[in-house]
Amino acid sequence: MMKRPGQRHLLLLFTAATLCCPALGGGSVYTSEKEVKVDENQPATLSCYYSGFSSPRVEWKFVQGSTTSLVCYDSKITASYQGRVVFSQTGISFHSVTRKDTGIYTCMVTENGGEDYGEISVHLLVLVPPSKPSVNIPSSGTIGHRVVLTCSEENGSPPPQYQWFRDGVLMPEDPKKSRVFTNSSYTINSKTGELVFNPLSAYDTGEYSCQVYNGVGTAMRSEAIRLEAAELNVGGIVAAVIVTLILLGLLVFGVWFAYSQGYFNSKCLFHFPFLFSIILSLPLIPTSHKVMDLAWVQEQLTLSSLLWEWGGVEKWGDIFYHVDLEEHQTECSLIFLTLFFLFFQEQVKGE
């Protein structure tokens, strides 16, 4: 149906009102496009028109997050944009935009020392296709526990949406709406790329991959990584606890036997809690944590003559008395182990 001339006139007035910002003092500032979308490395023009100003001063500012910078001041392009942007009475033009140019550009028109003022903002969105996403998927998870899979992509503009696949099948955001995933309990955040199983079930074993898309270029998918849903290994935990208790019992028995034979006096026993903390922490020290100072160990053993004079064994407690545990934790453990084995060697020889 053809619109009558009166209807077309009203439509033009409505469009102009939405793109126009009335200025203080009677002037007005407006634009032909409040949002400009352009591919990266392509030219772009942001328009700014004004009326009701006799000798206006035009400025452009750029806002991206919490950062604000001037593109044009007093109708002149600032130094940081020289060679990339051209100013005209109808707007600014980029020779070639990059993803860093995405943001809000505001055209500000003033006159008479700021008494007459008007502005209009234009959103520039530089379009960049997403790159291959990176994922963090554990190789296994315990059934009945919470398991988190993450996916991230840093280059796409606008920010991409995230999708997850299991064994090549798209996972719906609501698992109960799919017969394939109805036995699973998970949530998908399509904005952050996080897939959370709470709890993990035996049905969740499979190969998982993440796909990103933002309407620019083609969707990109990560490599598939297998996640195994496993039962809690109660037997292994019990066995580890038993072995630990047996080793601790042997250590306590060895110290008690040495004391009962008169090898340690009360002065030495004063240091036993300290030494126990050293020997029990030895398995927790990764070999790459720090280089063992073997020279320091040799010095301590030599000074106390422990390797040759068991009659002076009470001196070994004094070695640790003034030692910084943080600085020589590994070395102290080595000394204690050396003394422990030498003690039993002497017992065997004596028999």
Q: What is the CATH classification number for the domain harbouring 43?
A: 2.60.40.10
% residues pLDDT > 70 (the chain)? 65
Q: Residues 207, 255: one domain?
A: no
Identify the band that residue 321 occupies on the pLDDT scale cut at 50, 70 and 90.
Answer: very low
Q: Give CA–CA dist 329/193, Å, rounded.
A: 43
Of the candidates 133, 125, 145, 116, which has an alpha carbon nearest to the alpha carbon of residue 54? 116
Q: Which of 127, 153, 171 is the last residue of a domain?
A: 127
How is 34-82 classified by DSSP, letter by letter? SEEEEETTS-EEEE-EEES-SS-EEEEEEEETTEEEEEEETTEE-GGGT
What is the pLDDT averaged over residues 151-180?
95
184-212, pLDDT tens digit by residue? 999 999 999 999 999 999 999 999 999 99
Q: Which of 81, 110, 127 is the last residue of a domain?
A: 127
Identify the band that residue 123 occupies on the pLDDT scale cut at 50, 70 and 90.
Answer: very high
**In whole numbers, what is the pLDDT of the chain averaged over residues?**
77
Q: Residues 120, 194: one domain?
A: no
Q: Residues 118, 33: one domain?
A: yes
Q: Residues 42, 142: one domain?
A: no
Identify the band that residue 263 occupies on the pLDDT scale cut at 50, 70 and 90.
Answer: low
Question: Which of the residue ranges 2-6, 77-81, 120-124, 188-192 would you say has the lowest mean pLDDT?
Answer: 2-6
- Count of structural domains within the chain: 3
Q: What is the pLDDT of residue 241?
A: 81
Residue 238 falls inside a structural domain: yes
Q: What is the CA radius of gyration of the chain?
A: 37
Identify the band that residue 268 occupies on the pLDDT scale cut at 50, 70 and 90.
Answer: very low
Q: Residues 217, 159: one domain?
A: yes
Q: Residues 121, 152: one domain?
A: no
**Is residue 33 scored above 90 in pLDDT?**
yes
Identify the band that residue 111 occupies on the pLDDT scale cut at 50, 70 and 90.
Answer: confident
**Is residue 309 scored above 60 in pLDDT?**
no
Residue-range definition of the domain harbouring residue 99: 18-127
Q: Can you give 83-148 as a three-state secondary structure string? A: CCEEEECCEEEECCCCHHHCEEEEEEEEECCCCEEEEEEEEEEEEECCCCCEEECCCEEECCCCEE
Q: Residues 138, 123: one domain?
A: no
Q: Which of 97, 127, 157 is the last residue of a domain?
A: 127
Residue 101 falls inside a structural domain: yes
What is the pLDDT averaged over residues 75-79?
93
Residue 181 falls inside a structural domain: yes
Q: What is the pLDDT of residue 307?
A: 41
Of the candidates 116, 117, 118, 113, which has an alpha carbon nearest to the alpha carbon of residue 30? 118
Q: Residues 113, 163: one domain?
A: no
